[in-house]
Structure 1
Amino acid sequence: MRLLTYRPNRGASLILPALPFVVLIAIYAIGSILRHSGNPDDKLLPGLDSLAAAVRRVAFEPDKRTGDIILWSDTAASLTRLGVGLTVATVSSCVIGLLVGLLPYLRVLLTPFIAVLSMIPPLAILPILFIVFGLGEVSKIVLIVIGIAPFMTRDLALRVSELPVEQLVKAQTLGATTWQILLRVVAPQMMPRLIDSVRLSLGAAWLYLIAAEAIAAESGLGYRIFLMRRYLAMDVILPYVAWITLLAFLSDYILRRLQGWLFPWFAGARSK
Structure 2
Amino acid sequence: MRLINIKPGPALALFLVLLPFAAVLVAYAVGSDIRLTANPSDKLLPAPGTVGDTMMRLLTEGDRRTGRILFWYDTWASLQRLWLGIAISASVGLVFGLLIGLFPLMRSLLAQFVAVLSMIPPLALLPILFIVFGLGELSKVVLIVVGTLPFIIRDLSQRTYEIPQELLVKAQTLGASSWVIAIRVALPQVMPRLIQAVRLSLGPAWLFLIAAEAIAADLGLGYRIFLVRRYLAMDVILTYVIWITILAFAMDWLLRWASRRFYPWAEEGL
CA distance in 2 between partners of 1:247 and 1:225 (Å): 16
Q: Secondary structure at the match of 2:141?
A: helix
Structure 2 equivalent of residue 249 of structure 1: 249
Letter in 1 for 2:54: A
Bigger drift between 7-16 and 210-219 goes to: 7-16
1:143-183 Cα distance to aligned partner (Å, 9 max, x none):
00000001100110111111111111111111000000000
CA distance in 2 between partners of 1:6 and 1:164 (Å): 35
Letter in 1 for 2:243: W
Letter in 2 for 1:38: A
Structure 2 equivalent of residue 194 of structure 1: 194
CA distance in 2 between partners of 1:5 and 1:191 (Å): 33
Displacement after TM superposition at 1:68 (Å): 1.4
- The residue correspondences of 1:158-237 to structure 2 (distance < 5 A) are 158-237=158-237
Structure 2 equivalent of residue 81 of structure 1: 81
Letter in 2 for 1:267: E
- The residue correspondences of 1:102-141 to structure 2 (distance < 5 A) are 102-141=102-141
TM-score, structure 1 length as denominator?
A: 0.97
Structure 1 equivalent of residue 40 of structure 2: 40
Letter in 2 for 1:20: P
CA distance in 1 between partners of 2:194 and 2:56 (Å): 39
Q: Secondary structure at the match of 1:46?
A: coil
CA distance in 2 between partners of 1:15 and 1:78 (Å): 34
Letter in 1 for 2:178: T
Letter in 2 for 1:201: S
Shift in alpha-carbon separation, 1:166–1:5, aligned structure 2, 3 A: closer
Structure 2 equivalent of residue 26 of structure 1: 26
Letter in 2 for 1:183: I
Letter in 2 for 1:26: V
Number of equivalent positions: 270
Q: Secondary structure at the match of 2:231?
A: coil
1:208-237 Cα distance to aligned partner (Å, 9 max, x none):
000000000001110011011110000100
Bigger drift between 250-259 and 5-14 goes to: 5-14
CA distance in 1 between partners of 2:66 and 2:116 (Å): 45
CA distance in 2 between partners of 1:94 and 1:152 (Å): 8
CA distance in 2 between partners of 1:126 and 1:7 (Å): 46
Q: Secondary structure at the match of 1:230?
A: helix
Gaps of 5+ in 1: none
CA distance in 1 between partners of 2:154 and 2:117 (Å): 10
Letter in 1 for 2:232: L
Bigger drift between 245-254 and 64-73 goes to: 64-73
Letter in 2 for 1:56: M
Structure 1 equivalent of residue 15 of structure 2: 15
CA distance in 2 between partners of 1:172 and 1:11 (Å): 51
Q: Secondary structure at the match of 2:43?
A: coil
CA RMSD of superposed structures (Å): 1.0
**Aligned structure 1 segments of 4 or more residues deviating by more than 3 angstroms:** none
Gaps of 5+ in 2: none
Q: Secondary structure at the match of 1:66?
A: coil
Report the identity percentage.
57
Displacement after TM superposition at 1:15 (Å): 2.0
CA distance in 1 between partners of 2:22 and 2:186 (Å): 45
TM-score, structure 2 length as denominator?
A: 0.98
CA distance in 2 between partners of 1:221 and 1:196 (Å): 25
Letter in 2 for 1:208: F
Structure 2 equivalent of residue 3 of structure 1: 3
Displacement after TM superposition at 1:72 (Å): 1.0
